[in-house]
Amino acid sequence: MSLTGVPLLLLAAAATIATGAVTVLFWSRGGRLRPVTRTLGILLLEALVVLTAGLEVNRREQFYPSWQALRGDTGTAAVTGEVRAGLLDGRVRSGSFEWRPPGLAAWHLAHAPAVSVPADYLSRPDVAFPVVLALVAPGTPTRRTPGAVTVTLAPTAATTATALRTLPAELERDLRVAATGWDVLGNGPLGAAFVRSVPAGLAVLDRPTDALPPALKAPQTLPSLRNTRS
Amino acid sequence: MTLWLALAAVLVTAAALAVLWNRLRALGRGLLSLAAVLSVVAAVGVELNQLTETFPSAAAAVPVAAGTGGSQMLAVTVPGEASKLRLPMYVYLPAAYRLSAERLPVVEAFHGVPGTPQFWLHKLNVQSTLDREIAAGRMAPTVVLFPQQTPNPTLDTECTNLRGGPQTETFLTVDVPAYAKAHYRIRADRAAWGLTGYSAGAFCAVNLTLKHPDKFAAGASLSGYASAGITIGDGSEHTTNNPFWRLQHLPQPAVALWLGWAADDKQPARDSRLLAAEARAPLAVTTAVVAHGGHSSAVWRQMEAPAFDWLSAHLAGPLP
């Protein structure tokens, strides 16, 4: 029987009326036990009145739509994942290195991007680091950002934001980096177009590097809307 | 204790009614019956108050609570110069607050209606949740503020500036940040400030994040609504204080929202889906669904850690 259904509500109401009737009917009976039977009748009646009112309020407001909900059973457990190791984690050394992902040719860069990892990248293998994506002129020295994976990229006239849309997935595959809050440095229109072209929240244009999110372990998560629909 | 006293009163009045009925005249019987009814009403009221923490007892108002992880929960009063409200607030300081000199990010956490910040402390065990998530490295050390949202626990403001009433929006977006910045070692930039809340507090978190993207970078909603459900006095519950209307008619701000709900919690589930469906870049929305549990503390306990973890990942970290 549903907690918020009419049958349960009617049952509770009927029980309340019946208890009231029986209490009145037996009010003058019971002999020496009369104080006890009267007291029990009153208490039961009071409890049923409260129960019926509570069922009606809950039916209207849907605080507890089911018996499971009333028991505190949510049927869901938050999942704590793990930060997946990057394919390059075994080869990364502190300092910077040339990054040659499979999709590199499609980006039409002046030369391969330079990547620098934070000093504690190797000593914290269970953490995803924030990302700084620096769009610079060819020949500009490699950028470094304390606490962040920094990708120094030298675009050419042939580089498009559409082509660079594959970069986040390539970087997330190769290194342990955060999936949101990337800082894209570079005042040119390419940086702005890249920020607009990637999913909302993934990248921010020209944010101060001290506003980067922290390096964190994998969060606790719940099923998402997409999972629910499927 | 209060509940046991109320239940004892129910028992005593019922017994008195049973024993004294034949010895009393009509007036006495009527008075005793009234006492019995009142005792039941009182017991129900006490239990409901324990469930919602609308009127917390003096014993429940913990001035300072130390967490097992070295954190502290402080009780303060915020004198709101801009709003002219003077309301209590709890302040969570993580262990790192004492152990380092960093400026920490901040989250304001709103309670439901009826309710008070004590619900976060007692029913949602927020201090131990924050201690655990920070110690596990899933959340950066963060100062969390639990302001009271109304001068009258029975007055639902939905964190808005009521026409001719409390200026709660001003209190929460101007006075509380000003007080926190003046008294604690925290970051002042919007990138490090987020909001969260459950039920009506979730509406507050979403509404204020969308209205004040210059002050808050992210908001997390636990079983929230898309509209205020009250009369504000200027009609803005249909427009500027209606997140669904804002998403449909105003440019969407560059903030991030986490919308969580229980699948069997009809109104918040419907409203959260509507909000998620209306979101467009640069607004980023993440959804989270609990299978069932209704509109209850069990659901919010389930969502609490994922919401705080998500908030931390979307706010600027501690600043050396």
Instruction: Looking at the structure, tell me whether residues A40 and A145 fall in a common domain.
Output: no
**pLDDT one-digit tens code per residue, B205-250:** 999 999 999 999 999 999 999 999 999 999 999 999 999 999 999 9
- Whether the CB-CB separation of B284 and B209 falls below 8 Å is answered with no
Angle, helices B2-20/B26-52, rounded to nearest 10 degrees:
160
Phi, psi torsion values for B176, nearest 5 degrees: -65, -50
Q: Do B303 and A68 touch (CB under 8 A)?
A: no
A122 and A26 in a single domain? The answer is: no
Residue A86 included in any domain: no
For residue A100, give Cα distances in angstroms to A151, A171, A207, B190: 12, 10, 26, 36
- Spacing of C-alpha B25 from chain mean position: 50
A208 & A101 share domain: yes
Given an 8 Å threshold on Cβ–Cβ distance, is B289 in contact with A63? Answer: no
Tell me whether residue A78 is in a domain.
Answer: no
Alpha helix ranges (H) inside chain B: 2-20, 26-52, 95-99, 118-122, 126-136, 168-170, 176-183, 200-211, 243-249, 266-278, 297-313
Q: Is the predicted pLDDT of residue B62 greater than 70, yes or no?
A: no
Interface check for B24 against chain A (CB to CB < 8 A): the answer is no
Out of A76, A204, A216, the one facing B290 most closely (by C-beta) is A76
> Which DSSP helix (H) or strand (E) runs through B143?
strand B143-147
Which residue range(s) make up the domain with A157?
Answer: 95-220
Same domain, A188 and A122: yes
Is B63 a residue whose pLDDT tops 60? no
* Distance between CA atoms of residues B49 and A185, nearest Å: 53
Interface test with A, best of B275, B309, B315 (most A CBs within 10 A): B309
Q: Does B145 touch chain A (CB under 8 A)?
A: no
Q: Are residues A120 and A199 in the same domain?
A: yes
Distance (Å) from the alpha carbon of B145 to chain A's nearest alpha carbon: 20
Q: What CA–CA distance (Å, rounded) separates A103 from A105?
A: 6
The reported pLDDT for the residue numbered A228 is: 42
Tokens of B2: 């209060």
d(CA B149, CA B89): 9
Claim to verify: residue A62 and residue A155 sit in the same structural domain: no
Q: Choose one of A36, A71, A106: the last residue of a domain.
A: A71
A36 with A109, same domain? no
What's the confidence (pLDDT) of residue A128?
Answer: 97
Q: Angle between the A34-61 and A6-25 helix axes, to the nearest 10 degrees?
A: 160
Taking chain A (230 residues) in consecutive chunks of 10 residues, what is each chunk's mean pLDDT? 92 96 88 89 95 93 89 90 91 86 94 94 95 93 91 95 96 96 90 94 92 96 64
Provide the token pair at B20.
Answer: 């004294």
**B154: distance to nearest CA of chain A, Å?**
17
Residues B12-45 pLDDT 10s: 999 998 888 888 888 998 999 999 999 999 999 9
Single-letter amino acid, residue A17: I
pLDDT band at residue B142, thresholds of 50, 70 and 90?
very high
Is residue A226 included in any domain, yes or no?
no
pLDDT of residue B52: 78
- What are the tokens at B165? 């009433």
A85 assigned to some structural domain: no
Record: contact B292-A211, CB cut-off 8 A: no
Of B180 and A227, the structure prediction assigns the larger pLDDT to: B180
Quickly list DSSP for B117-133.
THHHHHTS-HHHHHHHH
Q: How much is the average pLDDT of B89-101?
A: 94
Q: Which residue, among A68, A226, A181, has the nearest Cα to B288 in the 3D structure?
A: A226
| Confidence at residue B57, expressed as pLDDT on a 0 to 100 scale | 63
Does position B148 have pLDDT exceeding 70, yes or no? yes
Residue (of B173, B163, B168, B174) closest to B153 by Cα position: B168
- HEC letters along B43-77: HHHHHHHHHHCCCCCHHHCCCEEECCCCCEEEEEE
Looking at chain B from residue 249 to 278, which residues have their Cβ under 8 Å from any Cβ of chain A?
Answer: 254, 256, 260, 262-267, 273, 276
Cβ(A65)–Cβ(B294) under 8 Å? yes
- The reported pLDDT for the residue numbered A226 is 60
Angle at B104 between CA B217 and CA B174, to 5 degrees: 55
Predicted confidence band of residue B289 (pLDDT cuts 50, 70, 90): very high
Q: What is B59-313's CATH superfamily?
A: Alpha/Beta hydrolase fold, catalytic domain (3.40.50.1820)
pLDDT classification of B58: cutoffs 50, 70, 90? low
Asked whether residue A211 is assigned to any structural domain, the reply reads: yes
Structural domain total, chain A: 2
pLDDT value at B64 more than 70: no
Provide the ipTM. 0.89
Residue A11 lies in a domain: yes
User: With contacts defined as CB-CB under 8 Å, which chain A residues touch B309?
Assistant: 216, 219-221
Contact at 8 Å (CB) between A116 and A150? yes
How far is Cα A149 from Cα A131, in angstroms, rounded to an integer? 5
The percentage of chain B sitting over the pLDDT mark of 90, rounded to a whole number, equals 83
Separation CA B125–CA A180 (nearest Å): 29
> Residue A158: CB partners within 8 Å, gap ≥ 6?
A108
Quick one: closest CA in A to B141, which residue? Answer: A214
CA distances from B56 to B53, B158, B276 (A): 5, 20, 35
Residue of chain B with shortest Cα separation from A209: B316
